[in-house]
Amino acid sequence: MQYGCIGEHLTHSFSKIIHGELTDYLYELREIPMGELEEFMAARDFKAINVTMPYKQDVIPHLKEVEPMAAAIGAVNTIVNRGGDLYGYNTDFGGMAALIARTGIDMTGKKVLILGTGGTSNTAMAVAKHLGAAQVYKVSRSAKTGVLTYDEVKAHHLDAQVLMNTTPRGMFAQEKGMSIDPALFPQLEGAVDAVYNPLRTEFILAARKQGARAAGGLYMLVCQAVLASEIFLDTKYPEGTAERIYRKIKSGKENIVLIGMPGSGKSTVGKLLSEKLGRPYLDVDTLITEKTGKTPAELISAEGEQAFRNMESEVIRSIALETGAVIATGGGAVLREENCNALRMNGKIFFLDRPVAQLLPTKDRPLSSTKEAILQRYHERYDRYVSTADVVIDNAASAEEAAQQVERNFLP
């Protein structure tokens, strides 16, 4: 192993992609099970590595020297092998500070809660204090000295203005949900999440719904990787390198999600985008048919609209964490907030706004089978489409023109 990243679970890590954008060295992802770290570190069979959960503190005893910043934080995420001696650094500090600055969060004089007590929480503590926070507390599910429990937070600290999640909660294929709901904090101004996959966790979506400035951890990951690679190679990358790579990776991982009325052109536009951009095409109604053996119309007729909506939500949950896809939804998918939240995690949502006069009734759409039904659905749902969408696309002309509009508003 020359260069790479070690951790317990790395299946969905973006680190290899980021380092591949920086230079041409061989960068590997090495999963190390609990109990095998000491053997790996003793072998020292690498030039330089990054370290992620849960080993940012555990590697320290194996190092000859730890830079002052990393030593003060008590966490190392970058190690360089120089002639058999291992030197430790912390580039997460710079990455997290850059994420906070890019998100526009001002911590000066604020109360900050850090969710979690692992190595990244130490970095978050150092960054918050460095940026002028007046009060900074760690929060844990279990009682620990100097650490708040979630019950204590709910009883005495709901006036916090900034939340920082450093736990794996919400990470792809890990624990779902949130450690605590940002909606509980009426004075919330900002939130950041070290989790970067999905791009936007439930925690970040809930914070944004509160009106807070909030962002997931992808920009932090990119920035710390740039800083780490500079240490690996004893070099300096041009200004703007991190922003360029962040935009490229975000665009490559983010889904294009199409919403709109039945007959608004979602399938046609979606297939055009899929072909042009080389992205997988996923149609929610088609997936429902494959799963149940019934078309949406047949499912509604046989089991009722509620059963159809439940199956629709199940399918959306299953595909929402896909990356780099084009997703066409059914006309009523936006009626459930859970669907909208799931699609937002990894998706940029486009509303294909076709004038109601151009929406034609068809028998395979039982809820829009007549002109009167279409008009009723249109008025019932229009505001919901607009409020759900990141971008509204005028689809009064051709599907090709609509696809071009989506592409212009999506690509970096």
What is the phi/psi pair of residue 4, to 5°?
A: 170, -165
- What value does the mean pLDDT take over residues 82-102? 97
pLDDT at 408: 96
What pLDDT band is residue 144 in, cutting at 50, 70 and 90? confident
Asked if 228 and 322 count as a contact pair (C-beta separation under 8 A), the reply is no
**Mean pLDDT of all residues in 326-334:** 96
The pLDDT value recorded for residue 364 is 63
User: Would you place residue 365 in the very low, low, confident or very high pLDDT band (cuts 50, 70, 90)?
Assistant: low
| Listed residue (102, 97, 100, 124) closest to 113, CA to CA | 124
pLDDT grade for 108, boundaries at 50, 70 and 90:
very high
The first and second tokens of residue 150, run together, are: 């979630």
Residue 166 or residue 119, greater confidence: 166
Pick 94-220's CATH classification: 3.90.1150.10, 3.40.190.10, 3.40.50.720, 3.40.50.2020: 3.40.50.720
- Give, as one character, the DSSP assignment of residue 366: G
pLDDT higher than threshold 70 for residue 388: yes
Q: Which of 282, 278, 277, 286 is nearest to 406 (CA)?
A: 277
What DSSP string describes 52-109? -TT-TTTTGGG-SEE-HHHHHHT---EEEEETTEEEEE--HHHHHHHHHHHHT---TT
pLDDT of residue 251: 95
Domain ranges (residues) in the chain: 3-93+222-248, 94-220, 254-410
Annotate 246-283 with b (16+ C-beta within 10 A) or e (fewer): bebbbeebbbbbbbbbbbbbbbbbbbbbbeebebebbb
For residues 157 and 114, give the distance between their C-alpha atoms in angstroms, rounded to a whole number: 12
User: pLDDT at residue 190 above 90?
Assistant: yes
The answer to whether the CB of 341 falls within 8 A of the CB of 314 is: no
Average pLDDT for 170-194: 91
Q: What are the residue numbers of the active site?
A: 56
Per the structure block, which two tokens stand in for 339? Answer: 């669907």
pLDDT of residue 366: 61
Please tell me the CATH superfamily of domain 254-410, with its number. P-loop containing nucleotide triphosphate hydrolases (3.40.50.300)
Q: Is the pLDDT of residue 385 over 80?
A: yes
Q: Is the pLDDT of residue 246 over 90?
A: yes
**Residue 173's pLDDT band (cuts 50, 70, 90):** low
Q: pLDDT at position 22, please? A: 95
Confidence of residue 143 (pLDDT cuts 50, 70, 90): confident
What letter would DSSP give residue 147?
A: B
Q: Which of 116-120, 128-132, 360-364, 393-397 has the lowest mean pLDDT?
A: 360-364
Matching CATH topology for 3-93+222-248 and 94-220? yes
Residue 159 has what pLDDT?
98
Strand order in the sheet with 48-51: 27-31, 3-7, 48-51, 78-82, 85-89, 65-66
What does the block give as tokens for 179? 């450690």
Residue of 205, 212, 204 whose CA lies nearest to 185: 212
Give the pLDDT confidence score for residue 119 in this predicted structure. 85
Q: Which residues of 154-179 are buried (b: 16+ CB within 10 A; e: fewer)?
A: eeebeebbbbbbbbbbbbbeeeeebb
Q: Domain 3-93+222-248 is of which CATH architecture?
A: 3-Layer(aba) Sandwich (3.40)
Distance CA 174, CA 165 (A): 15
